[in-house]
Amino acid sequence: MNGEAASPGWPQVVRAKLLQQRMKEAKILAVGAGGIGCELLKTLALSGFENVQVVDMDTIETSNLNRQFLFRKRHVGQSKAKVAAEAVQRFRPSCKINAMQANIKEPQYNVGWFKGFDLVLNGLDNLDARRHVNRLCLAAEVPLVESGTAAYLGQVTVHIKGTYECFECQPKATPKTYPVCTIRNTPDKPIHCIVWAKDLLFQRLFGRADVVSDLDEAAEKAEGETEGDAAAAAEQEASFFVRQTGESSFAYADRVFHRVFCFDIERVISMKDLWKTRKPPVPLRLDELRHAAAGAASTNGIHKSSSSQQATADLSACRLLGIRDSHAAWSTAQSAQVFLMATQLFLDLRSDEVGAAVFDKDDALAVEFVAAASNLRSTCYSISPLSLFDIKGMAGNIVHAIATTNAIVSGLIVAEAIKLLAGMPENCRATHLRSSVHTGRSGRERIIGPSMLEPPNPNCPVCGTAQLSLEIDTHKTTFKELLDRVVRRKLAVAQPTIQYDGFMYEEGPDLDEDEVADYAKFLGRPLHTLPAGGIKDSSVVEVSDQAQKLELSIIVTHQEEWDEEKDPEAFSLGGKLPVASADAPAEDSSVAGLSSLTGANDDDEGIEEVFEEPAFEARPNLTSKRKRSDEEQSPIEKRLKAANNLGEDCEVID
Amino acid sequence: MVEIKDPKSKKYDRQLRIWGAHGQAALESAKICLLNCGPTGSETLKNLVLGGIAGFTIVDGSKVEQQDLGNNFLLSEADLGHSKAQGVSSLLKELNDSVTGGFVETDPEQLINDQPAFFNNFSLVIATQLREATMLKLDDICRAEGVKLLAVRSYGLVATLRVSAAEHAIVETKPDNAVGDLRFHAPWKELHDFAMSFKLAEMDEIMHKHLPFAILLIQAVGHWKAGHQGKLPSGSKERTDFKALLKSWQRQIDGIPVEEENFSEAMTNASKVWSQHGIPSEVQAILEDDCMNLNSSSSTFWCLAAALKRFIEQEGQGCLPLEGTLPDMHATTDLYLQLQRVYQTKAESDVTAVETHLRAILKDNASSISSISRAEVKLFCKNARHLRLVRFRRLSEEFGISCKHNVLRQALTAEDQATNATLYILLRAVDRFYESHKHFPGTFDSPPESEIPMLKAKAGALLSEVGASPSPAWDDCLAEMCRFGAGELHCVAAIIAGMAAQEGIKLLTKQFVPQSGTLVYNAMGSTTSVFCL
Ligand SMILES: [Zn+2]
């Protein structure tokens, strides 16, 4: 399209009475009441929108206060959606904001519910929920304005079924994975130790016992034991971490320390094969460290009375130990002190949580525990220790966030929403917010760069007709593993129905107990032993989700050989060209109702600028890229990708 | 037992990860003056208050009217009829209890005319919705006192942003694609000796494929120089030969090279051997600047730059101090750590050398600077390759005869900038319109269209000063400008306010490079352009 000829002529429309009426009446769904959400609700209210529904499951935390400006200190712990709605309404009583503290993925928010809105605006921070909302918007045929931010970078895109790409037409990078063996036995980077401390040790000590981490299970097998041995070993290992009756918290912390930083390390050293090309780790001895440490932990356990009725949320081992600087790396002795103290505090003062705790980046004590444990492990493996601050960032996948970016992005969302309500979807743009000086090929500085929205990708497995290909070991992989690792984690399907010739499996609240029990019998079976011939090489499996109105077709290839370094997940999922191309893009019905407002669209002034560089690379398939190729990308690419994937860039997958 | 509460680091956790504790400290000592607190000004200041500045003073002489409630979130019904500055100030203080705030109920224009000294003690003045004539006076006042100025304005669906300051020196420019200098082209003695101590031919298979690529490249460079009169490979033929030399060192089985990850890393990084390792032109310009003639009141930046210059001339032998960071590479943990130590040791000794020069320089010039910490010297050395100095043009240059009209002329004919350049000219034309008619076009009782010819006359005059002819969008933009009626739309104000606060944070933290010209945001096309005039 010629730049000067294309006419986003909404300035006249924006002042039109008809549009103002339309904005007043439009039913808007705002998903998320966090950094973007707060700004968005405010800007919507002040732009003349009066019917807004906001959904957010989170509660307010202290670290939100510096940019989620609708919240005050007194609101910490309350629902983000509710507090935000009240705050905006108090200032603008004419704007009706209905708030729900809930997960947008809950089944009551079905296609029928989504159909009740004229527009959906996303201010979400996790990829899973963004993909879910995308699918419901497609099914309900409601236009979606999507957004994402990371530090100074941000982007706003518009998705209309049949007209523009859906959110998933360009594959999104999936979480980064690390080989289990590296995490368990041969870490060589701080992140390996952090992942170990957070997903393995923290989970073992304080988490739910019945959640057997993928890491535990696969690791035992990886050491070359048989299935039976592995199960026994895992059970034995798990039982070790149970606190004995009458055992003091001090004795327990001591015992765990010795086990994981001495006994286990010695055991790993004995696996000679591992150390042919590597330097073996060095075990830590607590008595030596304790000697070096001044105020060691209390041998009598810690009681509520002795710590002056501190709120459990404020518990901090560092504070009790007088360690102030969160930016400096601790000495090994300090790490040992923090490890012991944090373990004791957990057992003595947060005992009700033990057995059910979930790691949370804003839980100071949990972060201290993870920092201490990962630094101790780093010491064993001659990896440089990191500061508490750095570890918190890495453990929590903390996305850098600043108020200014949220402000800009929210304004851009509303600008696109107004164009949509004005019945001018052709004037919508994808807008990219760059860091300070981005000099394009023309040598010109710019902060905001628009680009034309692309038509739907016919190869998109979500809104198109593409078939996916899956390479997997159909003999070793169980049906449950397929559901958990491929269907839920990779494909973001919430409530899967699986079908192939002669077999069907369903999930969902509509099933009765007997059905659930019947289906559960299949879960532990290897794929090739499932009924009706099982899932094997060349099987075509249909995966669907009724709530998401999603239907995917997967063609399976049996693959036994997997390189653990390259494919730690031991499967590979790829896109495949569609058999037949999609129908010609249909006239979009969802915005047809708005086109009565295009009367003013005769203004031919051209203000259209095409951004010079594509901000996102389109990937040829869905296979998650490996570490090395990630590092080859420029930092800006990586960060843009992060902007698109908020906060999900690091997760252990076996 | 000592109770330590550190609520601040918790509150600012997410942003600390971007500009660091020292950046946050700079923000926390910043005093901001805001002129006019309509939606544009209020939203800009709101973003900075959330970031944690020390304090602010709002100057606005108007009272809150019903229409203000429609577009300014920081005012509510209770404020009707009261001072706008007071209303906004009290709500902003509620947003962050560690920020102090005050207000002056006076028209900014009057304050600029009557009390220029008022602005002396601020770190940054944010002037919003002010006309050209007033901005010119304010710019002179701020420059005379070394106070940085940020001009922000939203006008209908258009908004502008402009920084003005005599000098803004940035150490932490944080470029996106910085390539570290690893000295492959000219290793210092310790690095050279360390690299040469490994005998490739004598190594066992495992060692051979775990030798860091940096060592491979340094050995290859040594080998190459020995056969080429000490010169580096130049031209594509020699570069191919250089890579072939590396390849010839790979282990082979039956004449076929074995795949070794360290060697493939060496191939991909070979270009680092011959890529630019001189002193970047921006840094060279700083080293040749007039400010390098120091006196007792020279700033920390210039004293450090002078020390840097001496280092380059003496110990550095033409090179900048070593950054000292080693990228991740395929190697045994042990070897990697050893190599890292070699780089870190050299970087530390470079810092010490610069520090020694600095002490001498401070003494020689009887400098008033009490102390510059080693951490500061280290930060300067680490970023030496990316130092930037920005001298913003005076507003009187941009608005007067020394305006770079050629830049505007060019923009007016460039397809992707013509509309924004037209809008820029029209925004200046509305100010001239105001000088003649005492109101902005479209804000009078008569229908907006009736004022188009009057605005066209002003804009036409400006256009002929520039020496340009109207762009195709000219008439449409003129009509839009009249229809805007100088209104501030909240969504446009929120967007430009976000950008303005971001530029403000760059100025206050001295991190990242601010926009050097006038930024025009056009909400119709979702575009921005920057004109350095
Ligand atoms: Zn799609």
Residue A636 belongs to some domain of the structure: no
Q: How far is the CA of A588 from the centre of ligand 1 (A)?
A: 15
Higher pLDDT, A566 or A220: A566
Answer whether residue A10 shows pLDDT above 70: no
Residue A3 to residue B4, Cβ atoms within 8 A: no
Q: Does the beta carbon of B46 lie under 8 angstroms from any beta carbon of chain A?
A: yes
Among A80, A97, A82, which Cα is nearest to A45's? A97
**Alpha helix (H) ranges present in A363-402?**
364-380, 388-395
Give the count of domains, chain A: 3
Assign residue A113 the CATH number of its domain.
3.40.50.720
Tally A–B CB contacts below 8 A: 236
The active-site residue, picked from A38, A95, A137, A181, is A181
Residues A25 and A167 in one domain: yes
Domain boundary among A561, A580, A598: A598
Residue B73 to residue A46, Cβ atoms within 8 A: yes
Q: Which residue of B has its CA nearest to A403?
A: B47
Domain boundary among A550, A583, A598: A598
Q: How confident is the model at residue A389 (pLDDT cuts 50, 70, 90)?
A: confident
Q: Which of A289-303, A454-468, B194-208 has the lowest mean pLDDT?
A: A289-303
Supply the range of the domain harboring residue A51: 14-174+401-451
Tokens of A367: 């972060």
Q: How confident is the model at residue A621 (pLDDT cuts 50, 70, 90)?
A: very low
Chain centroid to CA A493: how far? Answer: 14
- The backbone torsions φ and ψ at residue A450, rounded to the nearest 5 degrees and listed phi first, read -90, 155
Residue A181 belongs to some domain of the structure: no
Provide the pLDDT for residue A8. 37
- How far apart CA B432 and CA B437 sit, in angstroms, is 9
Residues A151 and A245 in one domain: no
Question: B414-446: buried (b, 16+ CB within 10 Å) or exposed (e) per residue?
Answer: bebbbbbbbbbbbbbbbbbbbeeeeebbbeeee
Residue B51 to residue A402, Cβ atoms within 8 A: yes
Provide the pLDDT for residue A12. 53
Residues A476 and A514 in one domain: yes
> Measured between CB atoms, which of B206, B512, B515 is closest to A277?
B206
Among B299, B295, B281, B280, which Cα is nearest to B169's? B299
Answer whether residue A11 shows pLDDT above 80: no
Beta bridge pairs of residue A470 = A556, A573
| Nearest chain B Cα distance for residue A384, angstroms | 9
- Side-chain-side CA neighbours of B53 within 13 Å: the count stands at 29
Provide the pLDDT for residue A114. 94
Q: Which of A300-309, A498-507, A628-637, B431-440 has the lowest mean pLDDT?
A: A628-637
For tokens 């076009």, the residue is: B441
Residue A220: Cβ within 10 Å count = 20
Answer whether residue A583 shows pLDDT above 50: no
| Nearest chain A Cα distance for residue B62, angstroms | 20
> Measured between CB atoms, which of A67, A382, A608 is closest to B50?
A67
- How far apart CA B531 and CA B466 sit, in angstroms, is 14
Q: Does the beta carbon of B299 lie under 8 angstroms from any beta carbon of chain A?
A: no
From chain B, the residues in CB contact with A275 under 8 A are: none
Q: Does the beta carbon of B499 lie under 8 angstroms from any beta carbon of chain A?
A: yes
- The backbone torsions φ and ψ at residue A617, rounded to the nearest 5 degrees and listed phi first, read -85, 140
Residue B416 to residue A152, Cβ atoms within 8 A: no
Contact A407, B47 (CB under 8 A): yes
Residues A263 and A334 in one domain: yes
Q: Which residue of B has its CA nearest to A12?
A: B480
Q: A11-16 — which CB contacts under 8 Å span 24+ positions?
A: A11/A603, A11/B156, A11/B157, A11/B480, A11/B483, A11/B484, A11/B524, A12/A600, A12/A603, A12/B480, A12/B483, A13/A422, A13/A424, A13/A597, A13/A600, A13/A601, A14/A418, A14/A422, A14/B157, A14/B489, A15/B483, A16/A597, A16/A600
Q: Which residues surround ligand 1, an ion (CB under 5 A)?
A: A 166, 169, 460, 462-463
Q: Three-class SS of residue A445?
A: strand
Q: Does the beta carbon of B483 lie under 8 angstroms from any beta carbon of chain A?
A: yes
The pLDDT tens digits of the residues spanning A355-388 come to 878 788 778 899 999 999 999 999 999 888 888 8
Residue A317 belongs to some domain of the structure: yes
Residues A209 and A76 in one domain: no
Q: Three-class SS of residue A511?
A: coil
Tokens of A482: 């397929």
Residues A245 and A355 in one domain: yes
Q: How far is the CA of A440 from the centre of ligand 1 (A)?
A: 29
Q: Three-class SS of residue B41?
A: helix
Q: How far is the CA of A161 from the centre of ligand 1 (A)?
A: 8
Higher pLDDT, A488 or A644: A488
Residue B47 to residue A407, Cβ atoms within 8 A: yes
Tokens of B190: 């310790």
Q: How confident is the model at residue A211 (pLDDT cuts 50, 70, 90)?
A: low
Residue A94 belongs to some domain of the structure: yes
Q: How confident is the model at residue A591 (pLDDT cuts 50, 70, 90)?
A: very low
Contact B443, B155 (CB under 8 A): no
Task: Specify the length of chain A in residues.
Answer: 654
> Measured between CB atoms, which of A398, A414, A437 is closest to B491?
A414
Residues A320 and A415 in one domain: no
Provide the pLDDT for residue A361. 79
Q: How confident is the model at residue A548 (pLDDT cuts 50, 70, 90)?
A: confident
DSSP state for residue B156 in the 8-state scheme: B
From chain A, the residues in CB contact with B46 under 8 A are: 69
- How far apart CA A648 and CA A642 sit, in angstroms, is 8
Residue A404 to residue B11, Cβ atoms within 8 A: no
Residues A191 and A334 in one domain: yes
Answer whether residue A351 shows pLDDT above 80: yes
Residue B176 to residue A435, Cβ atoms within 8 A: yes
Instruction: Select the residue from A40, A44, A46 to test the B interface by mutation, using most B Cβ atoms within 10 A.
Output: A46
Find the largest Cα–Cα distance for chain A.
Answer: 83
- The backbone torsions φ and ψ at residue A590, rounded to the nearest 5 degrees and listed phi first, read -70, -25
Orientation of helix B452-466 relative to helix B405-413, angle to 10°: 120
- How far apart CA A506 and CA A508 sit, in angstroms, is 7
Higher pLDDT, B512 or A436: B512
Residues A127 and A205 in one domain: no
Higher pLDDT, B17 or A29: A29
Residues A253 and A286 in one domain: yes
- The backbone torsions φ and ψ at residue A59, rounded to the nearest 5 degrees and listed phi first, read -110, 160
- The backbone torsions φ and ψ at residue A544, rounded to the nearest 5 degrees and listed phi first, read -140, 160
Domain boundary among A395, A425, A442: A395
Low pLDDT (below 70) residues in chain B: 1-11, 14, 16-17, 176-177, 276
Residue B2 to residue A322, Cβ atoms within 8 A: yes
Provide the pLDDT for residue B146. 93
Residue A605 to residue B491, Cβ atoms within 8 A: no
DSSP H or E stretch at residue B34: strand B31-35
Q: Which residue of A has its CA nearest to B419?
A: A607
For tokens 């037209």, the residue is: B422
DSSP H or E stretch at residue A321: helix A317-321
Residue A630 belongs to some domain of the structure: no
Residues A328 and A440 in one domain: no
In order of start, what are the domains of chain B with their CATH numbers? 7-173+489-531 (3.40.50.720), 189-274 (no CATH), 281-390 (no CATH), 403-484 (no CATH)
**Alpha helix (H) ranges present in B383-473?**
395-399, 405-413, 418-437, 452-466
With a CB-CB cutoff of 8 Å, which residues 214-253 of chain B face chain A? none
The pLDDT tens digits of the residues spanning A229-270 come to 555 665 666 678 888 888 888 899 999 999 999 999 998 898
Instruction: Select the residue from B527, B529, B532 to test the A interface by mutation, using most A Cβ atoms within 10 A.
Output: B527
> Measured between CB atoms, which of B3, B71, B477 is closest to A605?
B477
Residue A351 belongs to some domain of the structure: yes
> Measured between CB atoms, which of A92, A403, A447 is closest to B51?
A403
> Measured between CB atoms, which of B50, B157, B512 is closest to A436?
B512
- How far apart CA A111 and CA B145 sit, in angstroms, is 62
Q: Which of A51-65, A287-301, A414-428, B86-100 has the lowest mean pLDDT?
A: A287-301
From chain A, the residues in CB contact with B18 under 8 A are: 151-152, 400, 402
Binding positions of A for ATP: 32-37, 56, 64-67, 80, 125-130
- The backbone torsions φ and ψ at residue A651, rounded to the nearest 5 degrees and listed phi first, read -160, 145
- How far apart CA A428 and CA B283 sit, in angstroms, is 42
Residues A166 and A26 in one domain: yes
Provide the pLDDT for residue A236. 67
For the full predicted model, state whether its pTM sits above 0.80.
Answer: no
Residue A613 belongs to some domain of the structure: no
Residue A101 belongs to some domain of the structure: yes
Q: Does the beta carbon of B95 lie under 8 angstroms from any beta carbon of chain A?
A: yes
Provide the pLDDT for residue A232. 60
Give chain A's mean pLDDT: 75
End-to-end Cα separation, chain B, in angstroms? 61
> Measured between CB atoms, which of B96, B498, B529 is closest to A446?
B529
The pLDDT tens digits of the residues spanning A159-183 come to 999 899 999 888 766 556 677 778 8
Q: How far is the CA of A464 from the centre of ligand 1 (A)?
A: 6
- How far apart CA A8 and CA A623 sit, in angstroms, is 38
Residue B495 to residue A412, Cβ atoms within 8 A: yes
- How far apart CA B509 and CA A310 sit, in angstroms, is 36
Tokens of B440: 């902005």
Answer whether residue A206 shows pLDDT above 50: yes
- How far apart CA A481 and CA A487 sit, in angstroms, is 9
Answer whether residue A6 shows pLDDT above 60: no
Known catalytic residue at A181: yes
Our CA angle for A91, A26, A103, nearest 5°, is 75
Catalogue the E-assigned strands of B66-185: 100-104, 124-128, 148-155, 158-164, 168-170
From chain A, the residues in CB contact with B506 under 8 A are: 436
Q: Which residue of B has its CA nearest to A442?
A: B416
Dihedral sign for Cα A300, A302, A308, A309, please. Answer: negative
Provide the pLDDT for residue A307. 44
Q: What is the 3-state secondary structure (H, E, C) of B195-244?
A: HHCCCHHHCCHHHHCCCCHHHHHHHHHHHHHHHCCCCCCCHHHHHHHHHH
Among B73, B139, B138, B79, which Cα is nearest to B110's? B138
Provide the pLDDT for residue B275. 79
Chain centroid to CA A327: how far? Answer: 26
Q: Would you call B197 exposed, middle or buried from its count of C-beta atoms within 10 A (0-12, 13-18, 19+)?
A: exposed
End-to-end Cα separation, chain A, in angstroms? 47
Q: Which residue of B has its CA nearest to A640?
A: B176
Q: How far is the CA of B57 from the centre of ligand 1 (A)?
A: 50
Provide the pLDDT for residue A445. 53
Residue B490 to residue A389, Cβ atoms within 8 A: no
Instruction: Select the residue from B6, B14, B515 to test the A interface by mutation, using most A Cβ atoms within 10 A.
Output: B14
Provide the pLDDT for residue B333. 76
Q: Does the beta carbon of B360 lie under 8 angstroms from any beta carbon of chain A?
A: no
Among A412, A505, A627, A27, which Cα is nearest to B523's? A412
Dihedral sign for Cα B56, B60, B65, B67, please. Answer: negative
Assign residue A297 the CATH number of its domain.
1.10.10.520
| Nearest chain A Cα distance for residue B66, angstroms | 12
Q: Which residue of A has its CA nearest to B332?
A: A278
Residue A609 to residue B527, Cβ atoms within 8 A: yes
